[in-house]
Chains A and B, each alone.
Chain A
Amino acid sequence: MSATLEAESLYKVFGRRPDQAVERLRNGADREELRAEGTTAAVIDASFTVEPGQIFVVMGLSGSGKSTLLRMLNGLLEPTAGHVRFDGQGLTALGDRELRQVRSRKISMVFQHFALFPHRSVRENAAYGLEVQGVPRAERARRADEALALCGLAGWEKSWPDELSGGMQQRVGLARALATDADLLLMDESFSALDPLIRRDMQDQLLELQQKLKKTIVFITHDLNEAMRLGDRIAVMRDGRIVQNGTAQDILLRPENDYVASFTQDVDRSRVLTAGELMDTSVTADDPGCHCETATPDTPFTELCAISARLSHPVSVVDEDNRQIGVVPRQRLVRFLGDVQDTDTQPCDSPRDKGGEKVIARA
């Protein structure tokens, strides 16, 4: 149904003599060095693979090159060096006409500020990609309405974009992207402009849709919580380079370097931590040894705390065969919480978006 997306050592350099700059970067030149000469290296040596049906999140602060990276994936920007392959087809070598063909049929995009056409109704907006493909009017309307219904907008077809709330507008944006039946969905900070609560709704909706549709999705965000919630894999970008590429747990618990670590410090670990990550594996047994409540390695941190509160001894972690594979003493739980509280004085990573903090506070 969906196909693999591969990016192979992508470079994007803005400014004069980009090829020469790429060569120097390959030879280990520094990004700052180039900037002094007026050349901006936006993306440096980015390689990754997105498996079919995966949500691949690219996370980084503004200016880290994540939007540039995204636009190279559908050819809106031409890579200075490197290759993009989707569904076995190299996109980098395609001419304008073929590239447009690919964009209209295989790749669609959802934008940060929705980018709905104000002179078109909701239905006409959702049908835009189909119109470009040359789908007949009646079928176009039918498929647009389906996509809108899928995004929870049934009944709003004849409205105009400016009559909708931000969340609803982005649902139109999503419907427009889904209507074309593209396999690859590129989402550029698509939920960043929304209120925190609505953002969570949208995230849930996206996950729910993904269950059904199994698209290959590349999702750009600067919000680590969002990345954790959505990402099957997460790539952290800094200064144009991908500094770590792994699962949410990898990023959180095994940061590649200090930057990633500092990045993840103010994350609500309790939501990603599970018993499997916390347990003391030195204590094992064939069975838990008592009939008290036990946990599995997937038991989330919050639940683990609840169990621990009801028990006088460490919580046993058991596998499918009810063998004890480790224990979680109460001190460990408290120590993790303590860590979190100690680092609360760190400055916020996205000062504009105060919502993130509130969510953590409530959790």
Chain B
Amino acid sequence: MPRIQLGTWVNDAVDWLTTHMAWLFDFCKTVFLGLYDGINAVLQAPEPLLLAGIFAVIAFWLRGTLAGVLAFAGFAFIDSLELWENAMITLALVLVATVIALVIALPVGIWAARSDRVSGLVRPVLDFMQTLPAMIYLIPAILFFGTGAPAGIVATLIFALAPGVRMTELGIRQVDKELVEAADAFGTTPRNTLLRVQLPLALPTVMAGVNQVIMLGLSMAAIAGMVGTGGLGGDVNEAIGQLNVGLGSEAGVAIVILAIYLDRMTSALGTQVSPLGRRAAAKLRAAQGLRIWSYRPRPAVAVIGVVVLALAAGGMGVLGGSGTGATAAAGGKDVGQGKKISIGYIPWDEGVASTFLWKEVLEQRGYQVEAKQFDAGPLYTSLAQGDVDFQTDAWLPTTHAQYWKKYGKQLDDLGAWYDKTSLELSVPSYMKGIDSLADLKGKASEFGGGITGIESSAGEMALLKSKVLKEYGLDKEYQVVDSSTPAMLAELKRAYAQKKPIVVTLWSPHWAYNDYDLRKLKDTKGAWGEGDGVHTLSRKGFADDDPTVAEWLKKFRMSEKELTSLEAEINKAGKGNQQEAVRAWLKQHPGFADRMAPVKNAGGGTPAEAKRPLDVAWFPWDEDIAVTYLWKNVLERRGYKLNLKQMDVGPVYTGLASGDLDLNFDAWLPYAQKNYWDKNKDRLKDLGTWYEPTSLEIAVPSYVKGVDSLEDLKGKAGTFKGKIIGIEPGTGEMDLAKNKVLPAYGLDKEYEVVDGSTPAMLAELKRAYAKKEPIAVTLWSPHWAYSDYELTKLKDPKKAFGEGNTIRTISNEKFPEQYPQLTKWIKNFRMSEDELGSLESEIKDRGQGHEEEAVAAWLEEHPDVVNRMTPQ
């Protein structure tokens, strides 16, 4: 059989989709995130018990007294488990996924019910979506949507969509054909047949579908915790990772309560919205008579109840919210505080570029900036009159010499920010053998005897014709073709695309040097004369009025590369979008704005880079919990904001590589997470080791006597039933154990390393330990298992497991550029075994959900750590 490269095709397709369909995914992401944030904000805002009350009133209305009481009790229970916030996150996630699923499922179901062909097409797609293991699309979901809620919503959506479509189709198809015919026979339009006959009669089935969508969504939301959606799924994940059955069951019970509530409410809603259901319920009630437990208020009463509670909740939310409203709005960057500055510019490329660059940066610093376009003459006049504060495009000493002579006394020169301007002739670099003006001699036929010029009125053209060509004896051979700057550039572009010979009149700085590979012809005889510097001029006294900005302007410098790339960006964006182009360019040049307009951090204030919140992913492993919460505490003191996301190893590496996450403090390299690292290393940065040494090993309980080293395992396969309990297949340690360690000690015939998962391995260890059965597990240090159980690390005299890993911090590719300060801090960060151990035990003592208190307490005992980690 030939190998069918399905995997490769899928990879290619995913690559293609990520590059070409990004706009679509971004759109979806925005929609999902908007919906999610909205619903989540509503659910998180009120006091938990008040919201529980609202839920209870809804249950009271839909199902009666008993349901209302139970609903309140259930939600109060969730609150008492300290899982309220996460439960609401999960609820929001499920609600958003359900709403989107229904928006898709209902029309598709209706369509499928009406057309057998559509039905035949849709069915296998649904089967596919429902049975494909979730992990397979969870990871691509990160690639497309990034980590967090959108990826979780998409995964949930894919899983939960099927019953919605199926039940809608089934419901409509189940409607008695004779009824549809009757509707038709009375002249009903197809649309009304659907709305008045088919949908009302299909409604109970459709509502059963909605119910299923919600249930499946809820079960998937738990799995989606692996991609950092948080909520109860995150808790479950964390509990499994730590083998914390107690916490796991708490989160599990919370999920169950949510599930039961949603299930009962949607099925009751099903009876309420369907006319047949309403009648059946009314009959049943009539038969039972009025009982207090099944008493249901009239809708109006229920609505009033909900509204009163909601108003109370809203009111409290508003009052509570106002206290925390103004948290570090501009992060200490609001230097200008609305002060007005006006910049004048000449519409030359470098003038436009530098002016809009300053406009953007100054606006970022809280100034109100006005940019006015002038001709050179009027600009100098306005500047001299004080109408304009400064301009950045004064070519001095030569080009603007006249103006300077005239207005110089009324102006201040804030210095040159670009000093390598020059006039020149240029050729594309594919023109070999032409490096200097002298080389042009005798090559006229190659260029068709023409030099493509610009406006005949330009000073450069005059200089070229009257001086430069003569100096090199080219005036007989070449003719300078008068045209215009845009025409020259168009000609250059055309020739460049076809790789045709061309020589053009150009000057530096110019964006053409950025867009094309051009060679400036050397002017060995100095015929073009000395180049000007581009100066910033301000009105007299500006430096006194605004010393900060004047200082910034004086220190302003741009390299040719920076300037030409900015010009190119502006050129690309087109007229009217200059500022957007500047913004885009600044994004590619992080830190540039801060270099232009540095903000002094009085009293150790917030570094500029702290503006954007950091997305930090963590694994539910003890050392990572400790170090992550430690950094969170310390960095928040320095004005940073950290979003912690709990995830699995694979998603973390994917998320970091895609730039969606910023940091992870728990990379075990170079061995344990080698596979993940190798795959993504081009897009990751290693910020160095903060903890060592670690080791990988096979461990046995110490009650297993006579087994101290790997060699001792030989011939004892019977004792261990030929098995070594492994962890997740594909991890570095497992690969090492299978491919290197066992063969090295000749154990590969005797033993099998069993694939599983870390929690499963730990569970197996716990079980065997309790029964004092022999067991061998793959383990690593540091690990809490060594403190909980008495285990023997088997010695590895042949060093088959290799040198130990170190625990490192890894980040996405751009991180060091974006966060130079933080990068430096992280690179210098170290923790000793004592420190890590004491922090871990502090966290363990305080229990899950109190990590921040634990870190705060630990830091009080270790007062030097904050300054050691983040020196100022």
A-to-B contact residues, CB < 8 Å: 74, 76, 99-105, 107-109, 111-113, 115, 117-120, 128-129, 132-133, 160, 176, 180, 186
Q: Are A132 and B178 in contact (CB under 8 A)?
A: no
Cα-based distance from A117 to B184 in the complex (angstroms): 13
Q: Name the contact of A74 in the complex, choosing from B176, B185, B189, B279 (C-beta under 8 A).
A: B185
Contacts of A128 in B (CB 8 A): 183, 186
Q: Which residue, A101, A112, A117, has most C-beta atoms of chain B within 10 A?
A: A117
Q: Are A76 and B197 in contact (CB under 8 A)?
A: no
Q: Are A102 and B276 in contact (CB under 8 A)?
A: no
Q: Name the contact of A115 in the complex, choosing from B179, B192, B200 (C-beta under 8 A).
A: B179
Cα-based distance from A117 to B192 in the complex (angstroms): 14
Q: Are A108 and B182 in contact (CB under 8 A)?
A: no
Q: Which residue, A100, A104, A119, has most C-beta atoms of chain B within 10 A?
A: A119
CB distance from A114 to the nearest CB of B (A): 8
Q: Are B186 and A132 in contact (CB under 8 A)?
A: yes
Q: Are B201 and A119 in contact (CB under 8 A)?
A: yes
Q: Are B201 and A103 in contact (CB under 8 A)?
A: no
Please name the residue on chain A nearest to B275 by beta carbon: A119
Give residues of chain B (150-190) contacting chain A, Cβ–Cβ below 8 Å.
Answer: 176, 178-179, 181-189
Contacts of B183 in A (CB 8 A): 128
Q: Are B182 and A101 in contact (CB under 8 A)?
A: no
Q: Are B197 and A103 in contact (CB under 8 A)?
A: no
Cα-based distance from A337 to B189 in the complex (angstroms): 55
Q: Name the contact of B186 in the complex, choosing from A112, A120, A180 (C-beta under 8 A).
A: A180
Chain B 187-219: CB-based contact to A (< 8 A → 1; otherwise 0): 111001000010011000000000000000000
Q: Are B197 and A100 in contact (CB under 8 A)?
A: no
Assess A115 versus B186: contact at CB under 8 Å? Given A132-B192, A160-B279. no
Q: Are B185 and A109 in contact (CB under 8 A)?
A: yes
Q: Are B186 and A119 in contact (CB under 8 A)?
A: no
Closest 6 CB pairs of A and B: A104-B187, A103-B187, A115-B182, A100-B187, A119-B275, A109-B185
Q: Name the contact of B276 in the complex, choosing from A74, A119, A129 (C-beta under 8 A).
A: A119
Cα-based distance from A111 to B177 in the complex (angstroms): 12
CB distance from B464 to the nearest CB of A (A): 77
Contacts of A120 in B (CB 8 A): 275
Contacts of A108 in B (CB 8 A): 185-186
Cα-based distance from A180 to B181 in the complex (angstroms): 17
Cα-based distance from A115 to B186 in the complex (angstroms): 12
Contacts of B197 in A (CB 8 A): 117
Residue pairs across A and B with CB atoms within 8 Å: the count is 59
Contacts of B279 in A (CB 8 A): 160
Cα-based distance from A118 to B176 in the complex (angstroms): 10
Please name the residue on chain A nearest to B279 by beta carbon: A160
Q: Which residue, B186, B275, B279, has most C-beta atoms of chain A within 10 A?
A: B186
Assess A101 versus B201: contact at CB under 8 Å? Given A109-B182, A118-B276, A160-B279. no
Interface of B is mostly: helix
Assess A76 versus B188: contact at CB under 8 Å? Given A113-B178, A117-B197, A119-B275. no
Contacts of A112 in B (CB 8 A): 178
Q: Name the contact of A100 in the complex, choosing from B181, B189, B275, B276 (C-beta under 8 A).
A: B189
CB distance from B277 to the nearest CB of A (A): 10
Q: Are B187 and A102 in contact (CB under 8 A)?
A: yes
Q: Are B178 and A115 in contact (CB under 8 A)?
A: yes
Cα-based distance from A246 to B167 in the complex (angstroms): 51
Q: Are B181 and A76 in contact (CB under 8 A)?
A: yes
Q: Are B178 and A103 in contact (CB under 8 A)?
A: no
Q: Are B187 and A111 in contact (CB under 8 A)?
A: no
CB distance from B217 to the nearest CB of A (A): 29
Cα-based distance from A118 to B274 in the complex (angstroms): 11
Cα-based distance from A120 to B188 in the complex (angstroms): 16
Q: Are A101 and B187 in contact (CB under 8 A)?
A: yes
Contacts of A109 in B (CB 8 A): 182, 185-186
Contacts of B274 in A (CB 8 A): 119
Cα-based distance from A115 to B189 in the complex (angstroms): 18
Q: Are A115 and B176 in contact (CB under 8 A)?
A: yes
Please name the residue on chain B nearest to A160 by beta carbon: B279
Contacts of A118 in B (CB 8 A): 201, 276
Q: Are A111 and B201 in contact (CB under 8 A)?
A: no
CB distance from A115 to the nearest CB of B (A): 4
Q: Are B188 and A115 in contact (CB under 8 A)?
A: no
CB distance from A189 to the nearest CB of B (A): 12
Contacts of B184 in A (CB 8 A): 76, 103
Contacts of A180 in B (CB 8 A): 186
CB distance from B58 to the nearest CB of A (A): 25
CB distance from B124 to the nearest CB of A (A): 27
Contacts of A100 in B (CB 8 A): 187-189
- Could you write out 6 A-B pairs with CB less than 8 Å apart? A76-B181, A108-B185, A111-B178, A115-B182, A119-B275, A128-B183
CB distance from A340 to the nearest CB of B (A): 38
Cα-based distance from A155 to B112 in the complex (angstroms): 42
Assess A111 versus B182: contact at CB under 8 Å? Given A117-B197, A119-B201, A160-B279. yes
Q: Are A117 and B179 in contact (CB under 8 A)?
A: yes
Contacts of B186 in A (CB 8 A): 103-104, 108-109, 128-129, 132, 176, 180
Chain B 264-292: CB-based contact to A (< 8 A → 1; otherwise 0): 00000000001110010000000000000
**Known pairs A103-B185, A160-B279. 11 more at Cβ < 8 A?**
A100-B187, A104-B187, A104-B188, A111-B178, A115-B179, A115-B181, A115-B182, A117-B197, A119-B200, A132-B192, A186-B185
